[in-house]
Structure 1
């Protein structure tokens, strides 16, 4: 996604957010739920007079910026509480034979094959197209991605987990929950572009983290003599 286009998008919707804020009488809590509107209002409250007077904004002191930043709602508050999966969410097998472990990862791939792999475009691609084409109706396509996270979470929970692989299973579930939350924020880029751009950053970082996690897990499997043939789901999962 071109950074200039993303910034232009942010400032455009920031202005729209300010105008909306000035025209309506939304409660403070509802305004705080929109990071773009909150940022825009804070910026205008603190520096609006300087803009009107045509003052050089580059002369705003670090202290003024720091003071203003304290009034901006933290991104974490916009994200809210993300559900956390625990071992109580999974069924643990009282065995960890190589066959049981392979069955688990083969089953895991079969779930994703029926959910994520049926999607033609992921949320990042859809967002990029919506911005570059200035067609935000395309954002509705992200609903299918969100639905795939829901379906994947419910199906992955049902897969019996071999003993000693519980931590992997729980971590995998939590990656699904966290990813879904960031995708939901990206979906609302037309309503809160600043939150969406921050969510996009977190989404990409999380994707890298998941890849590293899977790479390490594959190494752990090989270290105990567990491998997959190319036609097995486990092989495709770690590919």
Structure 2
């Protein structure tokens, strides 16, 4: 399953040389917020994008070294750690993911084998109408967009996001056998979390770092 990692973990994992290369790439290829000169962008607009926030923080801290052509491998782990403290947490970028509870489901006052069988058959029928009709999943669409350098293809992911919405609404309506409530709630929350991560992939052209961590 998808996991969340803090930007600090990513910084530590990739170490100084690779981060230096990333900084140079962003510095020379992206415009606006990635300029070395301090921008007048509000804090709220910077925080809305993890890639921009990371880049701005890195360049604010080490931009002088980049401009002067200094060896970025000499940046100490302590300096990187200090810079990472100023990066907005990934969880804040993602925002609040809705949480389903038992109040969102209808619970049957029985848990016979037949009731359980009917529940799972109904669950499958929902997914059969939503996810199984998707010709391309989000990962395949993303791969094609990157390989073809055509990020307009990401619009195709909207159909995947819509399938999560439809699935959530339909699954909520399925009567849940007694003692299967926790499973049903977990299923709904899985749909909500997965939808959020797919939305991050949908916006990879705007915030690639957030999509990478999704």
Task: Work out whether residues 34 and 55 of structure 2, in 8 Å CA contact, stay in contact via their aligned partners in 1.
Answer: no
TM-superposed deviation, 1:21: 9.4
Distance 1:152 1:12, change over 3 A: farther
Q: Which range moves more in the overlay, 18-27 or 94-103?
A: 18-27
- TM-score, with structure 1 as normaliser: 0.76
Distance 1:27 1:92, change over 3 A: same
Q: Does 1:101 align with 2:108?
A: no
Task: Work out whether residues 13 and 192 of structure 1, in 8 Å CA contact, stay in contact via their aligned partners in 2.
Answer: no
- C-alpha distance in structure 1 between counterparts of 2:130 and 2:173, whole Å: 15
Task: Work out whether residues 50 and 93 of structure 2, in 8 Å CA contact, stay in contact via their aligned partners in 1.
Answer: yes
Distance 1:198 1:72, change over 3 A: same
Whichever structure has more helix as a proportion of its residues is 1
Distance 1:198 1:98, change over 3 A: same
- TM-score, with structure 2 as normaliser: 0.84
- C-alpha distance in structure 2 between counterparts of 1:123 and 1:49, whole Å: 39
- C-alpha distance in structure 1 between counterparts of 2:23 and 2:147, whole Å: 11
Distance 1:130 1:10, change over 3 A: farther
Unaligned runs of 5+ in 2: 1-15
TM-superposed deviation, 1:80: 1.1
Unaligned runs of 5+ in 1: 200-239
Supply the RMSD in Å over aligned alpha carbons.
Answer: 3.6
Task: Work out whether residues 10 and 194 of structure 1, in 8 Å CA contact, stay in contact via their aligned partners in 2.
Answer: no
Distance 1:13 1:186, change over 3 A: farther
Count of residue correspondences: 199
